[in-house]
Amino acid sequence: MNQLWGYLIIEELVRNGIDYFVISPGSRSTPLTVAVAQNSQANKIICLDERAAGFHAIGYARATGNPAVLICTSGTAAANYLPAVIEASIDDIPLIILSSDRPPELRQTGANQTINQVNLYGNYPTWQFDLPCPTAEISPNVVLTTIDLAISRARQAPGGVVHLNCMFREPLAPTDAHVEIPASLVKWHEDRAPYTRYAAKLTIPAIAEIQSLIETIASTERGILFVGQLKSTAEIKAVIKLAARLNWAIFADIQSGLRLCQDFPNLIHYFDRLLLTDIAVELEQIDTIVQIGTKIVSAQWFKWIEKHPPTNYIAIANNPDRYDPNHLVSFRIESDITYLCDRLSQHLPQLSPSTWVQKLRSASDRIGVTAAKFLKTSKLTEPLIARTISELIPSQHGLWVSNSMPIRDLDMFGVGASAEDFPSISLRVGANRGTSGIEGAIASATGFAVGLQAPITAIVGDLSSLYDLNSLALLQHNLQPVIVVIINNDGGGIFSFLPIAKSTDLFEPYFGTPHGLKFDRVAAMFELDYYHPLNRDEFIHNYQQALAKNRSAIVEVTTDRSENLSLHQDLMRLCSSGNWQAIQQSID
């Protein structure tokens, strides 16, 4: 019965197009692991650490939009998925967990490796179910309908975490006996189709609400299209089409898929820095902001709109959750983003280009020139690393960005491909911004590579790397290479920007947390190529070397936290001064 149920669970997942399994070794999960191993259509990876496995699955799901399946044994193994469960839940990432459990008669008896796994993840899963021990008294059809429901709940917008707690009694190992398909499932066995097919669901607003939105947009004189995190190529293309129709100013987050386009019309690349300049007075009388997508990186944006709220603040997302930290949204639309953008593009009149938008674009371009000249005349720095990678990374690759300073630097100073490569440019940017934690960065990058089926560059801080060292083992099994650029500033660099940094007696031991560690021996341990450039030219050479070799590597860049703080402060002063001619002369 264990073998039969294990086969049914895995086979039904595969029939539904869910064929990527992340397995952590253990005994109680033997029926599931064996079923994956024996299924010729199942793709699998072995991940020793469940926490890393969870984030690897998240990276895969971010790339594909399809859930990976996590399989683990009983006890604290499943508990190690919790950080990934929280990240996936908050950011609507589809994830399916098959935790193995001991039978109910062993619960609360002191039996070894037995904990209470029911509702283990609290309210974070979108659906959870305690699957009973396999027995002849329960129809096997129950297994299939349960799996089909679980898949539907994980996939249907907005998506999320599904937890199936699977109890098994011994014996767990497969026997030589042939597993008979029950008579009730013979047709299912022969058809090779899912037992219960769930129709796709599309979230569509009422026609009257769409018309109201069209009227507001059409009557807007000064409008900003703010593009937050987008999750698919289809969403990116639909937003691009709408942006061309609007001719509004476009503020694009690094996770949007638009931020790293060099010459897309009306794209205000450096809007975050622009908000610090005199030209920002032009933004104080905004009629309408339409925000598509969530999880915005720029803290400066939130500060600005709190002081200068628009007349209309319209938020569009494919989930019912409130994403409004400033409490300014006046109209919220839950909708499939691709559908709504296509509908708006069809029915909106073509709006004319605005001299106001051109003024913003001109000021933004001058900030870009200023930043480029300043960074290229300085030594190897953290903003320079982010900018250089955005310039050099091939468009068919993927880019994974860790939290804290790397994603902020890329969001503020990144630059991308030229107009002739857009909108066909395929560079995808991934990050874990659900809870913005530093854990699982390397593991997520490896999953992102598997999902995209493309090489990945990951920009990761030193603390984040130390937190996730064991995930470097995954690089040995990834068919797609991952170049991990580790920015080592010997501690928590982002804390230098906080007021606590002025308390020098407390700052270093409790916030700066220097560790004095390097990553050369780590690279040797995991048999990875290693580079340690000391200046900008060396970094460019080493990074291009790593790209050309097409295999996983570590590129370690050593920076100084105090110098990094000063550099950012200098850049902020330069970009906000408004005296462009003096700036250019001082840099030249």
Assigned superfamily of 377-574: Thiamin diphosphate (ThDP)-binding fold, Pyr/PP domains (3.40.50.970)
Please say if the pLDDT value at position 419 is more than 50: no
Using CA atoms, how far residue 172 sits from 100, 104, 111, 139, 343, in Å, is 11, 16, 17, 20, 54
Banded model confidence at residue 463, pLDDT cuts 50, 70, 90: very high
Using CA atoms, how far residue 486 sits from 50, 372, 462, 469, in Å, is 23, 22, 6, 12
pLDDT, tens digit, 9 for 90 and up, residues 338-369: 999 999 999 998 888 889 999 999 999 989 88
In the chain, CATH 3.40.50.970 covers 2-191, 377-574
Average model confidence (pLDDT) across the chain? 92
Q: Please answer whether residues 583 and 515 qualify as being in contact, where contact means their C-beta atoms are separated by less than 8 angstroms.
A: no
pLDDT at res. 502: 84
Q: Please answer whether residues 272 and 298 qualify as being in contact, where contact means their C-beta atoms are separated by less than 8 angstroms.
A: yes
Name residue, tokens 């000021």.
Answer: 363
Q: Please answer whether residues 300 and 275 qualify as being in contact, where contact means their C-beta atoms are separated by less than 8 angstroms.
A: yes
**This prediction's pTM:** 0.94
The CB-based long-range contact list for 297-303 (8 Å cut-off, 24+ gap) reads 297/253, 297/254, 297/255, 297/407, 297/408, 297/411, 297/433, 298/253, 298/271, 298/272, 298/411, 298/412, 300/272, 300/275, 300/276, 301/226, 301/251, 301/271, 301/272, 301/275, 302/326, 303/275
Mean pLDDT, range 281-307, rounded to an integer: 92
**Range of weakest confidence among 85-89, 148-152, 461-465, 477-481:** 477-481
In the chain, CATH 3.40.50.1220 covers 207-362
- What kind of fold does domain 207-362 have according to CATH? Rossmann fold (3.40.50)
Residues pairing with 553 in the sheet? 483, 529
pLDDT at res. 515: 93
Please give the distance of CA 250 from its chain centroid, rounded to a whole number: 22
Q: Does domain 2-191 have CATH number 3.40.50.300?
A: no
355-376 and 382-392 helices, crossing angle to 10°: 110
Please say if the pLDDT value at position 584 is more than 70: no
Q: How many CB atoms lie within 10 A of CB 27?
A: 14
How far apart CA 271 and CA 502 sit, in angstroms, is 29
Please say if the pLDDT value at position 283 is more than 90: no
Mean pLDDT, range 220-242, rounded to an integer: 94
